[in-house]
Amino acid sequence: MAQKIDRQQVRKVAKLARLDLTEAEIEEFTGQLGAVLEYVEKMNELDTAAVEPLAHCLPIHNVFRADEVRESLGTEKTLANAPQRDGPFFKVPKILEDSSS
């Protein structure tokens, strides 16, 4: 049987996920994650040798349209709902510092 999850492991996972959990939440999640792991362990007991691997339970496929050249929207229609613009361009906040000097 798989090793049960303990409070220290929950704290570690919370730290990695950058979650600030209270002691009550750690206690609650320890029980919940333990129940999930027990269920997975129970599922591991099933014989799946004859089960074909699949990515989705329904028969789905990608639907592609023909790649056709069409007229573009144009600058005015494209920028019509832009929060800010600078002439024929979108104006966006600066996020990178200039380190060339």
Alpha carbons 24 and 81: distance in angstroms, whole number: 47
Token pair 């209270």 is found at 22
Contacts of 10 (CB under 8 A, 6+ apart): 21, 26, 29, 30, 33
Question: What pLDDT digit, counting tens, does each position of 44-68 carry?
Answer: 899 989 988 888 888 888 888 888 9
Contact 37, 4 (CB under 8 A): yes
pLDDT given at position 3: 64
The beta strand positions in the chain, using DSSP E, are 85-86, 89-90
Alpha carbons 24 and 95: distance in angstroms, whole number: 39
Spell out the domains of the chain, with CATH numbers in brackets.
7-43 (1.10.20)
Positions of the chain with pLDDT under 70: 1-3, 100-101
Alpha carbons 84 and 95: distance in angstroms, whole number: 16
